[in-house]
Amino acid sequence: MLSGKVACGEYNIPVVDFKLLVNGTTDQRSQAIRDLGRACEDWGFFMVINHGVPEALKEAVMKAFSEVLSLPEEETAEYLEAASMDPIQIGTGYYSATDEAQHLRHYLKMFVHPEFHCPAKPERLRDIAAKFATQTRHLMQQLAMAISESLGLHDGRIPQALNLDSSIQMLAQNHYPEYTGTDGVATALPPHTDPGIFALIFQNGVDGLQVQHNGQWILATPVPGAFFVLAGDQLEIVTNERYRAVIHRAVIGHEQTRTSVISMLAPCPDAVIEPVQELVAGSRVRVGFRGIKFRDNIIAHQRSNRANGQTAKDVVRAQDGVTAHTEQCL
């Protein structure tokens, strides 16, 4: 069952024009940087257009991933029941095998950077996934530089604080089967924030991603060709909560299957990510993280796997004791 009011059309999801961000005139660039900053501050979510990743490549990735998910079980047995940091994973539900919503999502995840992992079949997948990984990684790296600028920092500051040179990248595909329950719509992925830095998402033309904004659930409908960009926990930590990780969920309904493809960037598991000093100095509050290893954030993420509105950050805070780390910096 679905909870929470959903608003559509009432809010305009922010759009960032990547072409203007990198190649615009000085005025256009400044405006695009401002748009980016506002989107990260108000939503933690936006669409990026004119990003340069060809439609044909996106379609090819989605198709090849779908083929992996339709292979007979004996051909993918080694990827089933994999642990969260295993290089290739196929599974159902959110994370846990006892998840009530198990039948509502079928997923493939693969780590593609710094080492590239990929199922052997279909053969063409390796090439397609490698190209898609490189292009989307480049896009996210440039977004991280622009984010530095939007915060008034020099353009390498946020990438440096996130250890972006040693970052890990994961590609994933979610397949949501059609939902035939009598209540019409169901939550296939419970509310959560992503544990990484950013995720780029595109879908097969069927909506179902909802983001929380001003306490309301907003159904995300893309402008043609756009990627959704979701800010994750690490961006929130490094910016001392100036920019927010977006709480989101996936719903299914309307008797249509939905497929989404994700490219996600995260710090290397042993990097300790903490707020950038320049952003702590001028701020009233230092966020509730002393600096947390990304590996520990992933573990917290898995513990937040119930549809209870709890995010990985809440779990980390609960473990550490909220008051111990939420310091007033007056």
Ligand X SMILES: O=C(O)CCC(=O)C(=O)O
Peptide bond into 122 cis (omega under 30): yes
Nearer to ligand X, 308 or 326 (CB): 308
Tell me how far, at minimum, the Cβ of 263 lies from Fe ion, in Å: 12
Tell me which residue of 283, 272, 37 sits closest to 161, measured CA to CA.
Answer: 272
Draw the binding track, 260-279, toward ligand X (x: CB under 6 A; -: no contact): x-x-----------------
Is 248 a residue that touches ligand X (CB under 6 A)? yes
- At 43, list the tokens: 């939503």
Q: Rule CB under 6 A: say whether 174 interacts with ligand X.
A: yes
Per the CB < 8 A criterion, the answer to whether 13 and 47 are in contact is yes
Report how far residue 308's alpha carbon sits from residue 94's, in angstroms, rounded to the nearest whole number.
13
- How many residues sit in the footprint of ligand X (CB under 6 A)? 10
Residue 200 touching ligand X (CB under 6 A): no
Q: Which residue, 64 or 188, is less far from ligand X as judged by CB? A: 188
Contact partner, 301, from Fe ion, ligand X, none, Cβ < 5-8 Å per class: none
Q: Does 251 bind ligand X (CB under 6 A)?
A: no
Alpha-carbon Rg for the chain in angstroms: 19
| Dihedral pair phi/psi, residue 35, rounded to 5° | -60, -40
Q: Report the residue from 151, 209, 211, 307 that binds ligand X according to the rule CB under 6 A.
A: 209
Torsion of CA 232, 237, 243, 247, to 10 degrees: 40
Cα distance between residue 246 and residue 212, in whole Å: 7
Torsions phi, psi of 36, nearest 5? -65, -45
110 binds, among ligand X, Fe ion, none (CB under 5 to 8 A by kind): none
- Nearest by Cα to 134 from 185, 96, 169, 95: 169
Q: Does 194 bind ligand X (CB under 6 A)?
A: yes
Among 47, 162, 164, 201, binds ligand X (CB under 6 A): 201
Closer residue to Fe ion (CB): 220 or 279? 220
Span between the terminal Cα atoms of the chain, in Å: 44
Q: d(Cα 36, Cα 143) in Å, to the nearest integer?
A: 9
Site for Fe ion in 185-224 (CB under 5 A): 194
- Residue 149 binds Fe ion (CB under 5 A): no
Residue 191 or residue 275: which is nearer to ligand X going by CB? 191
Instruction: Name the site residues for ligand X (rule: CB under 6 A).
Output: 172, 174, 189, 194, 201, 209, 248, 250, 260, 262
Instruction: Name the site residues for Fe ion (rule: CB under 5 A).
Output: 194
